Structure 1
C-alpha cells in the first residue's frame, strides 16, 4: 500500500452523496513543483458521479482538490469552522482521519505527502460532498508495521500536520483555529476561557471499560498532555477519538483500570486531575 512515485487514476464507488474513493499507491508531487497543465493531466483519471457536485483542481495550492461553491457574494467573507477528527474505533486495521473545512477543502495531495513524511501510509481515502460541506477521510497505517497508529505522539503529530496544512493552503482558517494564534496570519478574534470551555465526563461503557469525554480549549500538544495525565494515575487508554473543531478539542477515550471500568472514586480522581492540568496551559509550542 505504500505510496510510489506517480499519481494513478482513482477507483470509483457509488454512494448516496457525490463521492469518490481512491486507493493510493503513489507518491504525490512536491508542493509548488507542478505546472497547472500537468496537474490537469494528473486529474484526467477522475470521473465524477453527479454533475451538481463538481470536483476540480483548486487554486489554493498545487495538488488541491475541492468542489465548486454555489455561495453568493454575500457568503464570500464567511469562514467555516475547520474540523479534524482522528478516529481509532471505527476500523480495526487503520486509523481514520477526517478533515472538513466547508466547501473550501483543498491540498489533498500535499496532505498525503505530509503524512507519508511522518512514516505513514495512506491506504485509501474518500472525498464526499454533501450540500456545502466537503469531507475528506484518510485510512492511515504505519509504513513500518502496516498497522494502525497507536503512539499518542504520532497521533498528535498527525493532527498538527493536518492543521499546519490547513493554515498553509487556507490561511483564512487561522482566525477559526487555536493554532492560528501562534502560526496563522490572523489570530482568532474569540479567545476561549479555559475554565469555561473545559468539560469532563466519565461514564461506564460495559463492565471492562469506561468512556471519558473531554471538551476543552485546543492547543499544541494537548493530546500528549491528556494521555500523560491519564497514565500517571495508572489508568489504561485503550482507544481514542480526537476531534478538533476550530478552537475546541472534543476528545473521547476508552479507559480502564486493571481490566475493569473505573469506579466512582477513581472517575472523580481522574476528572479532578484533568480539570486541574487542563486549566494550566504551559505546553512548549516549539517542541511540536
Structure 2
C-alpha cells in the first residue's frame, strides 16, 4: 500500500502566531494533486464497543493514571497501519483520564471517517482506547499521510481541550496548549534513524525525533522525495517524542546499504535543528 502525497487545505484550522504548522478542527477538506477529499456532515454512527481488563490493578492504584494523583501521565497516540488490512487502528492512552472519548469519535467522523469498532482495555499503564477507522467514502483504511496527520492532530487538539493538563506533557502544547512543556527536547539529541532488513521485498525504517505539527507528512515526503516507497507502518506520539516505523522499499526490493545510508542522512539533515537563526531547511 503506497502512501500518496498531497497538500493540506482545511477550513477552520487553528494556527499559532508565527508558526506555519496547522492543527485540524472537524470541518474542511483535504485538497491534493487532482483530487479533493470532502468532509461529509452526516456519517454512519454505528460501531461496536468491547471492554477488556488485562491484569488491571485496583482503581485506586491507577487513579489519575498513577498512584501519585499529582503526576500527569504521558499521553500517547498510536496510528497503526499494519495490524488490520481493512482499517486504520488508532490507540489513545492518557492514564485513566480519557473517559468515553465520544467527542473524539465525533471529531473523527467529521473528518470524513467511520469508526467501525471501538475497544477499551485496562492494564497497569492505564486505560487504552482503540478505534478501527475507515474512510467514509471508500470503506477502506486511510492511505493518505495528510489525512493521517489530520487525524493525529485532531486527537491531540481534543485531548488538550478536554484535558488541559496534558498540554505540559505534549510537544504540541507549545503550539496549541495553554501550558507549554517545561523542557523542550533537543532535536539533535532526540533524533535517531535506523534501517533494518525486513524480508525479501522491503526494509524497516525506524525514526525517533522531537514531535511537532506536520511531522508525519514531512517524514513521508522526505522518504518519497528520494524515490523510496512507503508501504505501511506505525506512527506513535509519546509525550514530547514521535516514534515512526515504516515499511519501505525501492522498486519492490529492500534498500541496499548505500540507499539505507542516503535515507538516514536525508532524514537526519531535515529533522535536525538549524545551527543558526539564518539556517533554513
- TM bracket (short chain): 0.7 to 0.9
Q: Which residue does 1:95 correspond to in 2?
A: 88
Q: What is the CA-CA distance between 1:16 and the residue it aligns to?
A: 4.4
Instruction: Give the TM-score of the pair, scaled to structure 1.
Output: 0.75
Q: What is the CA-CA distance between 1:250 and the residue it aligns to?
A: 0.5
Deviates more, 1:130-139 or 1:119-128: 130-139
Q: Which residue does 2:152 correspond to in 1?
A: 159
Asked whether 1:276 is paired with 2:269, we answer yes
Q: Which residue does 2:8 correspond to in 1?
A: none
Q: Per the alignment, in what secondary structure is the counterpart of residue 202 of structure 1?
A: strand
Q: Which residue does 2:192 correspond to in 1?
A: 199
CA distance in 2, matches of 1:174, 1:226: 24
Structure 2: tracts of 5 or more residues without a match: 1-42, 275-281
Which of 23, 33, 44 does residue 3 from structure 1 map onto?
A: 44
- Correspondence list, 1:99-118, <5 A: 99-106=92-99, 108-118=101-111
Structure 1: tracts of 5 or more residues without a match: 19-49, 54-66, 282-288
Which of 78, 90, 95 does residue 85 from structure 1 map onto?
A: 78
Q: Which runs of 4+ in 1 moved over 4 A?
A: 10-18, 67-74
Number of residue pairs matched by the alignment: 232
The 1:12–1:104 alpha-carbon spacing in structure 2 relative to 1, beyond 3 Å, is: closer
CA distance in 2, matches of 1:235, 1:131: 39
Q: Per the alignment, in what secondary structure is the counterpart of residue 139 of structure 2?
A: coil
- Correspondence list, 1:16-31, <5 A: 16=54
CA distance in 1, matches of 2:224, 2:176: 30
The 1:278–1:270 alpha-carbon spacing in structure 2 relative to 1, beyond 3 Å, is: same
The 1:239–1:106 alpha-carbon spacing in structure 2 relative to 1, beyond 3 Å, is: same
Q: Per the alignment, in what secondary structure is the counterpart of residue 179 of structure 1?
A: helix
Asked whether 1:233 is paired with 2:226, we answer yes
CA contact (8 A) 1:107 1:169 kept: no
Q: Pairwise CA RMSD of aligned residues?
A: 2.5
CA distance in 2, matches of 1:272, 1:231: 14
CA distance in 2, matches of 1:17, 1:11: 20
Which of 217, 220, 230 does residue 224 from structure 1 map onto?
A: 217
CA contact (8 A) 1:17 1:128 kept: no
Q: What is the CA-CA distance between 1:71 and the residue it aligns to?
A: 6.2
The 1:11–1:172 alpha-carbon spacing in structure 2 relative to 1, beyond 3 Å, is: closer
- Structure index of larger Rg: 1
Which string of whole-angstrom CA distances, capped at 9 and with x for unpartnered residues, describes residues 220-255 of structure 1?
000111001000000000002000000000000000
Q: Work out which structure has the larger RCO, using CA pairs closer than 8 Å and 6 or more positions apart in sequence.
A: 2
CA distance in 1, matches of 2:132, 2:50: 16
Q: Which residue does 1:263 correspond to in 2?
A: 256
Which string of whole-angstrom CA distances, capped at 9 and with x for unpartnered residues, describes residues 187-240 of structure 1?
100111000000000011012000000000000000111001000000000002
The 1:71–1:175 alpha-carbon spacing in structure 2 relative to 1, beyond 3 Å, is: closer
Q: Which residue does 1:249 correspond to in 2?
A: 242
CA distance in 2, matches of 1:139, 1:252: 19
The 1:72–1:195 alpha-carbon spacing in structure 2 relative to 1, beyond 3 Å, is: closer
Q: Per the alignment, in what secondary structure is the counterpart of residue 156 of structure 1?
A: helix
CA contact (8 A) 2:113 2:135 kept: yes
CA contact (8 A) 1:106 1:169 kept: no
